[in-house]
């Protein structure tokens, strides 16, 4: 199963695992198909991603803007990893911060 960022979730996708808010409160159970109302609730409660049935982790990666070279993005992420050495990159928020930082670094050519 694959973790899909909130912006890539679509109505009709089926959850592979329970969705919980930041405090651990269950918002929607595994096996439930997503509706517009669910997506609104996820945004309200700060859910960053959800585990979706039939999606591999590699498939769940957000699409890159056309101007970003995947090799430059990978190099930017590797350059930023030392700054995140004490961060828990298993946490969705920290993973997203690293991804956004690498994307910005790759797009703008920041050294």
What global pTM score does this model have? 0.56
Cα 9 to chain centroid distance, Å, stands at: 10
Instruction: Please list the residue range(s) of the chain that carry CATH number 3.90.105.10.
Output: 2-52
Strands (E), 6-75: 19-20, 26-28, 49-52
Q: How confident is the model at residue 109 (pLDDT cuts 50, 70, 90)?
A: confident
What would the pLDDT profile of 10-31 be if each residue is shown by its tens digit? Answer: 999 999 999 998 888 999 999 9
Q: How confident is the model at residue 67 (pLDDT cuts 50, 70, 90)?
A: confident
CATH code that applies to domain 2-52: 3.90.105.10
Q: Quick one: DSSP state of residue 3?
A: E
The two beta strands, 49-52 and 26-28, are unpaired
């Amino acid at each position: 199963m694959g973790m899909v960022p909130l912006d890539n979730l679509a109505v009709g996708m089926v959850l592979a695992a329970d969705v919980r808010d930041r405090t651990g409160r269950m918002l929607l159970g595994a096996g439930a198909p997503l509706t517009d109302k669910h997506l609104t609730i996820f945004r309200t409660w700060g859910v960053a991603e959800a585990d979706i049935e039939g999606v591999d982790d590699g498939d769940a990666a957000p699409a890159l803007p056309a101007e970003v070279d995947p090799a430059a993005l990978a190099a930017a992420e590797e350059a930023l990893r030392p700054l995140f050495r004490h961060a828990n990159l298993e946490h969705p928020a920290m993973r997203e911060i690293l991804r956004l930082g690498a994307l910005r670094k790759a797009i703008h050519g920041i050294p």
